[in-house]
Structures are given as structure tokens and as C-alpha cells.
Amino acid sequence: MKRTPALQPLSREHLTALLVARDLKAADDLDAAAARFLTFWDEDGKYHFRIEEEVLLPGWAADGELDREGVARLAAEHLTIRSEALRLRAGRLSLTQVRALGELLHDHVRFEERVLFPAAEAALDEESLARLEAAIEAAEVEAERDGRCSGSGLAGEGRRGGS
């Protein structure tokens, strides 16, 4: 199924997250894996999460029936990934735990792409999706303009039609 234009930027951004997840799952150097993840997280990942939580979910809830179970899973996984980022930054994750973080990130992205995004697309009409697309675009532009994301990774990549 082709992704609606409203969610295409977030889907494209997921490609970067999947590459990071792949690297973490195969990591054999804790320091290199930590640097890889934390660069991704600081420059783009946490902003991507915010856009999903502060723009996508409220926009979906305002105009359509939420997949409450799916939203609960998204929120729980976002919280876990955020806490693992804090633990990793503090040097409190082992290589085995970093690999598990890679598995979680991979599974989280796949869940959003295979379950959550299709549910949002099914619940929203064209007008609602157009509003959501504009809101996501505005949030990404604001994050990049304010220097809160790199512009070369998640938020910027989606807008410029990157991989």
C-alpha cells in the first residue's frame, strides 16, 4: 500500500531509524554503537518522536477514531527508547542491551509502518490528512529552523524527499 502524502515524511524518516537499528543489532563495539545511536537520537530521533506525539496523534484524535491500543504501544515504546537513550548516555547499557535497543527500535518502526500508520490512514478523510500533512511539515520546518534537529537526518530528509 502506498503511504498517504501526510505520513510520507515520517515513513521516509523511519528508513534512517531502521539503518541505526540494524547497526545496533550487529554492534560489536559498545562505544561506536553508543556514538551512532546518540548522534541519531540527538540530531533527529527525539524530534521525530515529538512530531508523532505532538502532531500526528492529536491530529488523528481530532478528526478520526484513534487506535487506542496502538497509541498506547507507541507511547510505551517511545518512553522505553527515551529511557534507554538516557541510560546509554550515562554509560549504563551493556553491548547486549544496546543490541536489544536495536531490536526494539526496529520492531517499533515496523509496528508504526505496518499497523499504526495504516490505521491512521483508514480513520482519516482526505481533508483531515491534508491538515495533518501541513501540520507535520510545519513542525519539521520549525524544528530545523530552531536548530533542534540536524536537517540532514530525520526531519530534514523527509521534507527534501531523501531516501
- Of the chain, the end-to-end C-alpha distance in Å amounts to 18
Of 111, 129, 106, the C-alpha closest to 74 is 111
**Do the Cβ atoms of 104 and 76 come closer than 8 Å?**
no
Of 121, 120, 160, the C-alpha closest to 12 is 160
Q: Which helix (H) or strand (E) covers residue 21, if one does?
A: helix 8-25
Q: What is the pLDDT along the chain (163 residues), one digit of tens a residue?
A: 689 999 999 999 999 999 999 999 999 999 999 999 999 999 999 999 999 999 999 999 999 999 999 999 999 999 999 999 999 999 999 999 999 999 999 999 999 999 999 999 999 999 999 999 999 999 999 988 877 666 544 444 433 333 3
**Do the Cβ atoms of 130 and 6 come closer than 8 Å?**
yes
- State the residue for C-alpha cell 550487529: 26
